Structure 1
Amino acid sequence: MNRLGLRGRLLVAQIVVLLVCCVTIAAVAVAIAAPLFHNHLAMAGIEDDNVRLHTEEAFSQTIFVALLSGIAVALVGASIAAVYVVRRITAPISRLAVAAQSVAEGKYDVHIEHSDVDSDFTRLEGAFSDMAERLDHSDRVRKRLLADLAHELRTPVSTLAAYVDGLEDGVLEADGTSWAVMRDQLERLRRLAHDLSDVSAADEHALDLILAADDLSDIVCSTTTAVAPRFEERAVTLSTATPAHPVRVRVDRQRIEQILSNLLENALRHTPGGGSVAVAVTESPDHISVAVSDTGEGIPEDQLESVFDRFHRGESSDGSGLGLTIARSLARAHGGSLTARPNPLGGTILELALPGQLASDT
């Protein structure tokens, strides 16, 4: 029985049920028809035993042949119907089993044709398709992340290995320059590990937000004040423009500060000495935005969207390549957006937009 599979078992079960029904119908017909016919002959006044005997034999043979013919026709017709029904029921199950086997083997790019057998089964097919798509997406993200990570780790690890070998062999001196280079590479690895933690949480939609009513202008001013010394060191002018009144929003203050820090760090990295970076908070009926404008070399038109890709770095970039990726993920977690566009004065404008419904008058 185990070799028959689900389709064979259902078919056998259908035939067994049909046979039981046919036998039951035949037994009931024989048990009732003969006595009932005998009573009808008696009521008709037929007293001749030979006539009654031949009549009852003819009736019994007729009933037998009719029942046998009916059962045969019913079995054939019902078998055909059973085969059709069983195949219609089991076909989507077979397809789902094949798809499940593919997923078990690590082949997540499967396509399941939705059937109309049953609403519950249709939901099952839809849920399985969604699961396969999520697994496929996670697998592609994992492979891309590992490839990008391997590429990103290669440079600092190779640099550290070269300096350690050079110090051991006496080729390099253990002076301030060597220690500074190695310390920079270690800091790069530390920053990369921290950024990877955030970007992994973003990929899994597991960014934790602690939302509270706050003043967006105060957040902007606090962030720009914290980074102002670095701008002074690079001789880059940093200016801030905010509304005179508080701009109340319901956000995670630390996460918004993280977004702004990434935007300002990116602007400083790409703005030469003597340039300027401006931060402006504006309000509109449907959203509140913070625009960070720089006068650096700008971003090519064809890279305005790709700058938000993981590990994307321009020619003059020395960061981890994850800052803007994390910033956009945090913006979207707040229900907002982060976009880039050319600055008419030269350079780039990165704009954080938060939906208007986050605003609060409290």
Structure 2
Amino acid sequence: MTPTPSSLESPERDQTDSSLREEREKADREMTASRKAVEKDADAVVEHARENADAIMVAAREKADEKADGTSPLPTPSSIAIDREMEDQALREERAAADRSVRREREARARMLTRLLPLERDATDQYLLTERARSDDALATRDDFLGMVSHDLRDLLNGIVVSSQFLAQKLEKHSDSAQLLIETARIERYGTRMNRLIGDLVDVASIDSGKLAMHAVPGDVAALVAEAVDALQVTAAAKGITLAVQQPQESGTAEFDHDRLLQVLANLIANSIKFTPKGGSIRVHSKHVGDTFEFCVDDTGEGIPVAMLEAVFERFWQVGKNDRRGLGLGLYISRCIVEAHGGSIWAQSSAGHGTRMLFTLPISTTQNN
């Protein structure tokens, strides 16, 4: 048994971690730039204030010099120069001391932020890890619960279907057998639909947890197509739709999980039946394209708007808000199965002109069994 390459959660978590690292680096750059901008503005304010103070001091000295008339007992020019040099030296030392104090304060603030930021981020990381552990536990519990409930529900549904089949056999000679047989067939049909819905929900849970098992063995792709068409023939006929294998049909051998790829083809054919009106037709075929087999389900149905060709493979996608023809999981599950085989799946369509659903399967796969 080979699981899918990885769960959906691991890439999402890797992306979350990468985004978190990028955001932190961006925050660091912005914080550094902001701090430098603030310091630059502060330095500019201080420098401007010092220039004003210097200008005022120079003006005061010039004014004092002008008042000197040569008759007053003023100090000699040399003594004035010495005094002013001493004042200037004292001012320079005071400013240097102030600059050293500001630098020490800024360095201390930077060291504090450097210490506090890792602590805060460690706390955030620890909280994130705790929440992820709780989420993992919750998912594990959900998967276990879903497994048990789906098993019990399937047992009950199988009992309903078997009972309806038994009643159908006993009612063949009843006076109102025709109507009763219609009702028992309806019970059987509803039970089958419920069983399929449960299977889809279980598959989605398996995909989310990375436990969608694949068992690839050599198989005939032409026989697979024929089997899928035969399985849906009655359903198509009941709606007045022609379902057939398109000829000529190429045969070949590849490694694939028979039940899973049959599920994919059945999903695509059932989807075409769902959206093809009475009197329409569906053709299914496979052929060699390079080093792959290409499978195609071609219908004459409603078609899909070009803008929606990618969206149809998303989880819970519906044609419209009021559409109730399923949960919108079939194509999503089909995509996951095809991609787990190393292939790809896509749609070609335009509104009102039918739809072609295609997927590829490598002729030689490398899955480990």
Aligned residues: 221
The separation in 2 between residues aligned to 1:284 and 1:340, in whole angstroms, is: 17
The separation in 2 between residues aligned to 1:233 and 1:294, in whole angstroms, is: 16
CA RMSD in angstroms, aligned pairs only = 4.0
Residue 251 of structure 1 and its aligned partner are, at CA, apart by 0.3
4+ long deviations beyond 4 Å:
84-94, 175-189, 242-245
Residue 241 of structure 1 and its aligned partner are, at CA, apart by 2.9
Q: What corresponds to 1:192 in structure 2?
A: 197
Q: What corresponds to 2:215 in structure 1?
A: 210
Going from structure 1 to structure 2, the CA distance change for 1:216 and 1:184 (only over 3 Å counts) comes to closer
SS at match of 1:357: coil
Structure 2: gaps spanning 5 or more residues: 1-109, 143-178
The separation in 1 between residues aligned to 2:330 and 2:250, in whole angstroms, is: 30
Q: What corresponds to 1:222 in structure 2?
A: 227
Amino acid across the alignment from 2:346: T
Identity of aligned residues (%): 31
Contact 2:282/2:297, CA 8 A, preserved across alignment = yes
Q: Deviations over 1:79-124 (max 9, x none)?
A: xxxxx999979964652332212443x4xxxxxxxxxxxxxxxxxx
Alignment partner for residue 95 of structure 1, among 106, 121, 126?
121
| TM-score of the pair, normalised by structure 1 | 0.51
Amino acid across the alignment from 1:339: W
Amino acid across the alignment from 1:314: V
Written as runs of structure 1 = structure 2, the 5 A alignment for 1:64-143 is 92=118, 95-104=121-130, 106=131
Q: Which has the higher contact order (CA 8 A, sep 6+)?
A: 2
Alignment partner for residue 320 of structure 1, among 305, 315, 327?
327
Q: What corresponds to 2:336 in structure 1?
A: 329
The separation in 2 between residues aligned to 1:243 and 1:212, in whole angstroms, is: 25
Residue 187 of structure 1 and its aligned partner are, at CA, apart by 5.6
Written as runs of structure 1 = structure 2, the 5 A alignment for 1:1-362 is 92=118, 95-104=121-130, 106=131, 188-241=193-246, 246-315=251-320, 318-342=325-349, 346-358=353-365
Amino acid across the alignment from 1:100: Q
Amino acid across the alignment from 1:225: D
The separation in 1 between residues aligned to 2:251 and 2:226, in whole angstroms, is: 12
Residue 205 of structure 1 and its aligned partner are, at CA, apart by 2.1
SS at match of 2:211: coil
Q: Deviations over 1:149-200 (max 9, x none)?
A: xxxxxxxxxxxxxxxxxxxxxxxxxx97999988877665443222100111
The separation in 2 between residues aligned to 1:102 and 1:352, in whole angstroms, is: 39
| TM-score of the pair, normalised by structure 2 | 0.50
Amino acid across the alignment from 1:271: T
Structure 1: gaps spanning 5 or more residues: 1-83, 107-130, 143-174
Contact 1:285/1:356, CA 8 A, preserved across alignment = no
Going from structure 1 to structure 2, the CA distance change for 1:182 and 1:260 (only over 3 Å counts) comes to closer
Going from structure 1 to structure 2, the CA distance change for 1:187 and 1:214 (only over 3 Å counts) comes to closer
SS at match of 1:230: helix
SS at match of 2:319: coil
Residue 267 of structure 1 and its aligned partner are, at CA, apart by 0.5
